[in-house]
Amino acid sequence: MPIKLFSETIKWETSGNLKMSPDKLPDSGEMGGRIEASPEGGFIFFHGAPGNVGGVAWEKDDFLILPVFHQETHCVYLHLHFWEQGPFTEAAPHASIAMNVFPGFTVQVVFPLTRLDLETLFLPRTPGRLKNVSLGTPVDLAKVICLGIEIPESAGPQTIWLGQPRLADKEPVYTVPNRPVVDELGQWTGKEWRGKTLDETELVTNLRDWAKGSLAAPVIDQAYATQLSDYGGWKEKSYPATGFFRTEHDSKRWWLIDPAGHPFFSAGPDCVVPHMPGPVKHLESLFKWIPARDGEFADAWLQSERGDAEVSFSGANLIRAFGRNWQGEWARLTANWLKSWGFNTIANWSVPQLGRHLKIPYVYQLRSFPATRTKIFRDFPDVFSPEYRSAAAEYAQQLKEISNDPYLIGYFLRNEPEWGFGDYNIAEFLLAHPQPLACKEELIRFLANKYNGDATLLANAWRYPLTDFTDLHKPISDAPNLSAVAEADLREFTKVLIAEYIRVPAAAARQADPNHLNLGMRWAWVTSEQFYAGSQYCDVFSLNCYKLAPNPDDIKAASKASGLPVMIGEFHAGALDAGLPSTGLRGMADQTERGKFYRWYIEHAAAIPELVGAHYFQWGDQPVLGRFDGENCNIGLVDVCHRPYAEMIREIVKTHERMYQICMGLIEPTDELPKEVPREGF
């Protein structure tokens, strides 16, 4: 495998509060640089000529390799930046690859340069390099003149070693040390903390006591519980009942109305599941113990959607405590906790129909969103094709089994479309696509109609030589830069594409299940008004919102633009005081502050008239070495040993006891801000 090291004569330039000096990486002995980063972080830059950064020629099939070592008590969140016209040039294409790096051993951070097209949002995790995400705009490798390595802000100073960057024509063989970082119970060995389960005996004793009803955390006040309907709605007010959940605006605010006719604000955790599995292949030496795949721990092994075998230490711990009856014991224990902590919803990605079984309202995430063999950009399908309509009809059939369940609030069409991670002009990618697509035929009809069948008018407006509309079958790259009119026309058609993207599966779902709410798309965020196209086919506009609290003006704007009530499908915060190396998308000082964050978020959400619910992500902590995509965050209500974070639950209970009074405007939301710290890891 030919290796092309960056030239040692190339100076590593820095910006921000970084100090860099030559040094060997502590565990490999490779010569590189030791970086002392202040809490504010900063950048390291390699400059060069186009397609020749660091003194070596870049080839499109090369892999960029960057050895990284650190010994922080958290993962380090690095960004690789690729610029065509130098750092921070706003108008020029700029790709940013964010990634999470595990502490304690040299990690080969590898990036395939073919991915600078940003067609792939999330690259597969590799040993030690955990979750990553591709952001920004596609760049042309031949035009890249600067590589930047960003060390983001942190709660304190950080020391990081970087080896000599290099290019290779093949992906390297990854190695990890023979040094366990995960104990027999699935806990991190690199840290001690209050609440860490000492051994199997303590684990089993705790779980069996909790299953018998001993209190693991505070519980809801029973006087408050009597104010709630069987579905968790507020009995102090009534509306016409239909036997299913529906929406209503009562001239003051939007509500969900429960099947008995009572107003309902949805609050519940995502991922209410017994398992939080993660991969072990090529990582075996990092585990002190791995359960056997057959015998008593067979249920602790799961097959991922990618076909990989993954192990669940949370599942193994339930098996230790309850044996072959673990599933029923877990369901009873979980139901008791959900109800006693005041949650009224089992939110997304939970055990299928757990809510139906436990008689707790729940939402459903439709699986296998309709796709086509040929995509326009990332996961955006050929939405005007018969293939898309056929896939939508099949996809909707999964609703038939639950179409008469009164405990089902509604269903989400999908979660966070990858093409929606940015303000992308989908029609631009369509016009540049080399293959014949039904959507391109529709685009040609759209433009022919707009320009009254006169290709000359289009050619003049776009400043592009056309003699006939059929010339648009030939790929046109970077069309929005032809003229302002071209960009506007393509933006307009992007809205048509998005509306069809939603209309087709929404219609199929409505036919299969006419009783329940269509809860929308669960957008990662809203970066453009084009995201509201197709809202008319839904009952609720949903998005995930990882702010300190939802902004009332943003929610009001989303409701006005969509004409719908709004639901938040995800929010969370983590801390580093409880045994995981990443905080998630927001960081708090400790578990008490995580609870105050939940209270701040939900109480301020409940005060927004356009919001009908907000769901916390998630029920359980993630694995130390990451789930399928590498996320390894302290974001659970319970840890891997199923121990509740009592300090957090205390604040959650307070929140739920006040929630409906805040919705009604009878009391004000809390004014106690949680203590936020910079996020660590990803």
Let me know if residue 604 belongs to a domain: yes
Let me know if residue 621 belongs to a domain: yes
Q: State what percent of residues in the chain have pLDDT above 70.
A: 100
How far is it, in rounded angstroms, from Cα 254 to Cα 611? 7
How far is it, in rounded angstroms, from Cα 49 to Cα 71? 35
How far is it, in rounded angstroms, from Cα 110 to Cα 174? 10
Regarding whether 357 and 382 lie in a shared domain, the answer is no
pLDDT of residue 88: 85
Regarding whether 9 and 76 lie in a shared domain, the answer is yes
What range does the domain containing 66 cover? 3-168
pLDDT of residue 431: 97
Q: Are 599 and 655 in contact (CB under 8 A)?
A: yes
Task: Please report, as a single letter, which amino acid is at residue 254.
Answer: W
When divided into structural domains, the chain yields a total of 3
Let me know if residue 532 belongs to a domain: no
How far is it, in rounded angstroms, from Cα 337 to Cα 273? 13
DSSP state of 418: G
Which tens digits make up the pLDDT trace of 623-673?
A: 999 999 999 999 999 999 999 999 999 999 999 999 999 999 999 999 999
Regarding whether 555 and 635 lie in a shared domain, the answer is yes
Which tens digits make up the pLDDT trace of 221-278?
A: 888 889 999 999 999 999 999 999 999 999 999 999 999 999 999 999 999 999 999 9
Let me know if residue 670 belongs to a domain: yes
Q: Are 411 and 518 in contact (CB under 8 A)?
A: yes
What does 526-588 look like in DSSP terms, one character per residue? Answer: --SGGGGTTGGG-SSEEE---SSS--HHHHHHHHHHHTS-EEE-----B-SSSS-SB--SSEE
Regarding whether 430 and 360 lie in a shared domain, the answer is no
145's CB contacts (< 8 A; 6+ apart) are: 47, 48, 49, 50, 53, 83, 84, 85, 86
Let me know if residue 553 belongs to a domain: yes
Q: Are 81 and 128 in contact (CB under 8 A)?
A: no
Regarding whether 395 and 348 lie in a shared domain, the answer is no
Regarding whether 552 and 487 lie in a shared domain, the answer is no
Structure tokens at 680: 């660590």
Share the mean pLDDT of the chain: 95
Regarding whether 390 and 363 lie in a shared domain, the answer is no
Which tens digits make up the pLDDT trace of 281-332?
A: 999 999 999 999 999 999 999 987 777 899 999 999 999 999 989 999 999 9
Which pLDDT band, with edges at 50, 70 and 90, does 215 fall under?
A: confident
Query: Comparing C-alpha atoms, which of 162, 130, 135, 216 is closest to residue 54?
Result: 162
From 168, 183, 211, the end of a domain falls on 168
What does 184-227 look like in DSSP terms, one character per residue? Answer: TTS-BTT---TT---SHHHHHHHHHHHHTT--SS----HHHHTT
pLDDT of residue 17: 83
Q: What is the pTM of this model?
A: 0.96
Instruction: Kindly state the average pLDDT of the residues 471-496.
Output: 95
pLDDT beyond 60 at 364: yes
Let me know if residue 190 belongs to a domain: no
Q: What is the CATH number of the domain that holds 49?
A: 2.60.120.430
Regarding whether 13 and 145 lie in a shared domain, the answer is yes
pLDDT of residue 1: 57
Let me know if residue 42 belongs to a domain: yes
| Top-ranked range on mean pLDDT: pick from 36-45, 296-305, 509-518 | 509-518
From 168, 184, 216, the end of a domain falls on 168
Q: What is the CATH number of the domain that holds 244?
A: 3.20.20.80
DSSP state of 623: P
Instruction: Kindly state the average pLDDT of the residues 34-50.
Output: 93
Regarding whether 361 and 385 lie in a shared domain, the answer is no
How far is it, in rounded angstroms, from Cα 47 to Cα 577? 40
Number of H helices and number of E strands within the chain? 13, 29
Regarding whether 454 and 553 lie in a shared domain, the answer is no
pLDDT beyond 90 at 218: no
Which tens digits make up the pLDDT trace of 158-170?
A: 999 999 999 999 9
H or E stretch including 455?
A: helix 455-462
Q: State what percent of residues in the chain have pLDDT above 90.
A: 89
Regarding whether 630 and 509 lie in a shared domain, the answer is no
pLDDT of residue 530: 94
Let me know if residue 281 belongs to a domain: no
Partners of 109 in beta bridges: 66
Cα 208 to Cα 189, 216, 321, 338: the distances in Å are 25, 11, 7, 18
Q: Which residue has the tokens 């580093």?
A: 576
Regarding whether 401 and 499 lie in a shared domain, the answer is yes
Q: Which residue has the tokens 């940003």?
A: 118
Query: Comparing C-alpha atoms, which of 77, 65, 50 is closest to residue 1?
Result: 65
